């Protein structure tokens, strides 16, 4: 898209107008702040600067402009974000670069042709078909989900696509082949695998997940497409295109472990099932699901990885107000095996799903027969999730439940929760300091430690309350013999802009005492750095004086060195 279209949209829309429908924003000095839409957080760390037209999310360490924000929230690429914002702004778009559009369309086509090849090969493979029949996958399900088979051959798919006129470059960009060693031809990514096409929300193939056919194989159980122009594993949910209506109708998403779990759940009538592909659950996945329903049920494996996935989901979902429940599956089986045995078993397990807080309580009780150890583990492993819950009614409900399970007074639970929240706020304040320092280092990667500290102090001086800024400035001048304003003039506009934005957010988020302690510590660092530089310079001058026989000058320099050394921290 032409640059002038972007500029016209920015002229007509404020970044506040774009973000406020997604995030409840509140004034914070010159900026606005709210809770991150990308992560599960209780304390707001998402900042928007209307002056700069930028946002920054401290909890996920990402930022950008209105286009970046819409890309992440709507799960679209830049073109999609441009279209959404152009419609909102009433701006007519200049057509997309034809070459890029043609490449995207060709990638969709080659992936569809690869899918057809896998479907055709499945029909010809007795072993693959027999495996699917053994897993109780019906013919109409195979057809509906376009399940196929990648033959046990290094270049069969490549040869097929080459015959249809596709070159190796396109196959590589589509994630269908891998580059071989120099002088050898590219080879197929998927071999001897049941193939599950991963589709976008419109039902177009964007990638694949291939499950190994042989139980005895030492190869990974699943292989997924690499990330491409079309496939982003942090945003793609397997089955989402077919589950959208079911999620909306049933008013909850059912998250299961793998592709077979999704397919067989749908086949058994649970048409709201989805699974992630090749990654853990991400904020983007959660945003995608929350647009359809605020309720989620997890039906994952009962192993350690399954429990870790439950905790990950709790971190991402609770602070967003999602009602997260966990189904404990009969006999520790996965959904695919349960529905194959009896679809009613999965139905019963989903109906009896418990809130994630209660699930963790039950789990810890089973794992910790010792009463004291159980109480300690609840304090360490359950209460941190309780402070993520925004609703005071919900939080009070679960505080009472925990107290009942532990046989203690509910007020004790509330006091511990309050303590955790205070600790969390203190940790967040420390994180703000570290994040501000990291931003300085990132945008000034070739600078020395002294230059980084100078930049930090020079910029923060302008952002402090007048009395605080004056204190900092006076001590700064004593050390540097220049004003903070003079140092700011030496910084590039890009460095100044990013530093101002980051430090504004840091000051707004942190307590005044913490900010003062930080800039006072930075002044001490600066004094130490400048003092050491002066000592080195004086040593050189002293040596020169000694070499030239100027003993009196050399002794004067030595005394000056001793005075400076006494100023250094011991």
For residues 460 and 254, give the distance between their C-alpha atoms in angstroms, rounded to a whole number: 48
Confidence of residue 447 (pLDDT cuts 50, 70, 90): low
Q: Token pair for residue 478?
A: 């004593």
Using H for helix, E for strand and C for coil, what is the string for 529-542?
HHHHHHHHHHHHHH
Asked if 383 contacts 423 with a C-beta cutoff of 8 angstroms, the reply is: no
Confidence of residue 33 (pLDDT cuts 50, 70, 90): confident
What interhelical angle do 551-567 and 512-547 show, nearest 10? 160
Express each pLDDT in 215-272 by its tens digit.
767 788 889 999 999 998 888 999 999 998 899 889 999 999 889 999 999 999 999 9
Statement: residue 435 has pLDDT above 80 = no
Structure tokens at 465: 């309350």
- Per-residue model confidence (pLDDT) at position 1: 47
For residues 541, 542, 543 and 545, what is the CA-based torsion angle, rounded to 10 degrees? 90
558 contacts: CB under 8 Å, gap ≥ 6: 542
Burial class (CB in 10 A: 0-12, 13-18, 19+), 405: middle
Structure tokens at 345: 């078993």
CA distances from 190 to 52, 140, 486 (A): 47, 24, 61
Mean pLDDT value of segment 478-496: 84
pTM to 2 decimal places? 0.65
pLDDT tier at 326, thresholds 50, 70, 90 = very high
DSSP letter assigned to residue 327: -
Mean local confidence (pLDDT), 43-51: 82
Q: Which residues pair with 177 in a beta bridge?
A: 188
Q: Which residues pair with 30 in a beta bridge?
A: none
Indicate the range of 1-10, 294-303, 314-323 predicted with least confidence.
1-10
What percentage of the chain reaches a pLDDT higher than 70? 93
With beta carbons less than 8 A apart as the criterion, state whether 297 and 350 touch: yes
For residue 225, the model assigns a pLDDT of 94
pLDDT tens column, 500-527:
777 777 777 666 776 887 788 888 888 8
The C-alpha atoms of residue 253 and residue 246 are separated, in whole angstroms, by 8
What distance lies between CA 398 and its chain's CA centroid? Answer: 28
Residue 12 pLDDT class (50, 70, 90 cuts): confident
Buried b (16+ CB within 10 A) or exposed e, 517-542: ebbeebbebbbbbbbeeebeebeebb
Paired residues of 224 in beta bridges: 209
Exposure string for 370-398, b = 16+ CB within 10 A, e = fewer:
eeeebbebbbeebbbbbbbbeeeebbeeb
Query: 548: how many CB neighbours lie within 10 A of its CB?
Result: 10
CB distance 191 to 227 below 8 Å: no
Structure tokens belonging to residue 446 = 């070739």
DSSP 303: S
Q: Which two tokens stand for residue 421?
A: 């929240």
Q: Where do we find the tokens 């605020």?
A: 294
**Least confident among 27-36, 47-56, 393-402, 427-436:** 427-436
Residue 3, pLDDT score: 61
76 burial (CB, 10 Å; 0-12 / 13-18 / 19+) is middle
Q: Is the dihedral of CA 376, 377, 381, 383 positive or negative?
A: negative
Mean pLDDT, the chain, rounded, equals 87
Any residues with CB less than 8 A from the CB of 238 and at least 6 apart, and which?
196, 198, 209, 259, 262, 274, 275, 276, 277
Q: How confident is the model at residue 32 (pLDDT cuts 50, 70, 90)?
A: confident
Of 208-212, 316-320, 437-441, the least confident: 437-441
Q: How far apart are CA 381 and CA 378, in angstroms?
A: 5
Q: What is the pLDDT of residues 121-162, one digit of tens each?
A: 999 998 999 999 999 999 999 999 999 999 999 999 999 999
Q: What DSSP character marks residue 20?
A: T
**pLDDT category of residue 4 using cuts at 50, 70 and 90:** low
pLDDT digit string (tens) for 362-383? 998 888 888 889 888 988 888 9
């Amino acid at each position: 898209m032409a640059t002038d279209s972007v500029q016209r949209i920015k002229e007509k829309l404020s970044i506040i107008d774009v973000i406020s429908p997604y995030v409840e924003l509140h004034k914070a000095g010159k900026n606005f702040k709210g809770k991150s839409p990308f992560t599960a957080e209780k304390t707001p760390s998402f900042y928007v600067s209307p002056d700069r037209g930028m946002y920054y999310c401290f909890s996920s360490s990402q930022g950008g402009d209105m286009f970046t924000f819409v890309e992440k929230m709507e799960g679209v690429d830049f073109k999609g974000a441009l279209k959404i914002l152009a419609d909102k702004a009433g701006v007519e778009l200049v057509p997309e670069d034809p070459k890029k559009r043609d490449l995207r369309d060709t990638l969709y086509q080659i992936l569809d042709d690869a899918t057809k090849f896998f479907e055709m090969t499945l029909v010809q493979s007795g072993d693959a078909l027999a495996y699917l029949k053994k897993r109780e996958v019906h013919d109409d399900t195979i057809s509906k989900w376009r399940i196929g088979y990648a033959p046990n051959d290094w270049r069969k798919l490549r040869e097929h696509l080459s015959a249809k006129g596709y070159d190796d470059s396109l196959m590589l960009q589509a994630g269908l082949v891998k580059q071989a060693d120099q002088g050898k031809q590219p080879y197929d990514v998927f071999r001897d695998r049941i193939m599950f096409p991963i589709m976008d929300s419109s039902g177009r193939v964007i990638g694949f997940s291939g499950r190994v056919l042989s139980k005895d194989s030492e190869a990974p159980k699943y292989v997924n497409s690499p990330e491409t122009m079309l496939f982003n594993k942090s945003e793609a949910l397997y089955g989402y295109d077919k589950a959208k209506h079911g999620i909306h109708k049933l008013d909850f998403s059912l998250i299961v472990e793998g592709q077979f779990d999704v397919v067989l759940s749908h086949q058994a009538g649970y048409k709201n099932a989805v699974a992630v592909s090749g990654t853990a659950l991400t904020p983007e996945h959660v945003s995608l699901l929350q647009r359809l329903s605020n309720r989620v049920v997890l039906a994952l494996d009962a192993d350690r990885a399954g429990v870790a996935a439950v905790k990950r989901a709790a971190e991402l979902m609770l602070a967003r107000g999602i009602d997260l429940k966990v189904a404990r599956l009969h006999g520790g089986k996965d959904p695919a095996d349960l529905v194959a045995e009896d679809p009613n078993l999965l139905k019963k397990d989903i109906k009896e799903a418990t809130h994630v807080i209660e699930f963790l309580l039950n789990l810890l009780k089973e794992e910790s027969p010792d009463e004291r150890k159980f109480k300690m583990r609840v304090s360490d492993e359950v209460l941190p999730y309780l402070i993520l819950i925004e609703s005071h009614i919900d939080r009070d409900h679960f505080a009472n439940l925990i107290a009942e399970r532990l046989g203690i007074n509910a007020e004790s639970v509330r006091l511990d929760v309050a303590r955790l929240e205070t600790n969390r706020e203190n940790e967040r304040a420390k994180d703000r300091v570290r994040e501000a320092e990291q931003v300085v280092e990132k945008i000034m990667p070739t600078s020395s430690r002294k230059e980084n500290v100078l930049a930090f102090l020079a910029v923060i001086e302008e952002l402090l309350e007048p009395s605080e800024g004056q204190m900092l400035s006076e001590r700064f001048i004593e050390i540097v013999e220049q004003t903070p304003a003079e140092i700011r003039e030496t910084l590039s506009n890009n460095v100044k802009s990013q530093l101002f934005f980051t430090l504004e957010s840091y000051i707004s988020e942190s307590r005044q005492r913490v900010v003062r302690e930080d800039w006072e510590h930075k002044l001490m660092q600066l004094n130490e750095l400048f003092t050491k530089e002066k000592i080195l310079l004086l040593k050189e001058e002293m040596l020169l004086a000694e070499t030239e026989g100027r003993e009196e000058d050399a002794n004067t320099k030595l005394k000056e060195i001793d005075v400076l050394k006494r100023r250094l921290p011991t």
